[in-house]
Amino acid sequence: AQTVTQSQPEMSVQEAETVTLSCTYDTSESDYYLFWYKQPPSRQMILVIRQEAYKQQNATENRFSVNFQKAAKSFSLKISDSQLGDAAMYFCAYRRGSNFGNEKLTFGTGTRLTIIP
């Protein structure tokens, strides 16, 4: 079974600074996708960034980027120029690749990010 591990229950960063959230996963699959989701106090899950396992290039979305190390099964999220609105729970998630569209997401335990003004 696939597992996703987030070893940092809580992190904090000064506003405008950079922070990196860690995630490791375990799988025997070769075709899969990795995601970072943000859950603010409203509890609405928001997709931050995603990565296809077959792509070597790290995904980037504005201030958010990932460091995908496939051999090490590591998928960290870097948030640059942290803003107060970035404060939230961040979940790393794994999904097996499929042509059938019904593959489930496996979530890590989450990292609570606090932004210090």
Q: What is the DSSP letter of 56?
A: -
Q: Are strands 10-14 and 111-116 parallel, antiparallel or unpaired?
A: parallel
Binding residues for another protein, total number by CB under 8 A: 25
Using the contact rule CB under 8 A, the part of the chain among 22-30, 69-77, 80-88, 108-116 near another protein is: 108-116
56 scored as a contact of another protein (CB under 8 A):
no
103 scored as a contact of another protein (CB under 8 A):
yes
The site map against another protein for 1-40 (x = CB under 8 A) is: --------------------------------x-------
The residues, any chain, with a CB within 8 Å of residue 44's CB and separated by 6 or more, are none
Could you say which of 3, 69, 98, 114 contacts another protein (CB under 8 A)? 98
76 scored as a contact of another protein (CB under 8 A):
no
Q: CA 78 to CA 45: how far, in whole Å? A: 19
CB of 45 to another protein, least distance (A): 4
Q: CA 63 to CA 46: how far, in whole Å? A: 15
Q: CA 33 to CA 70: how far, in whole Å? A: 11
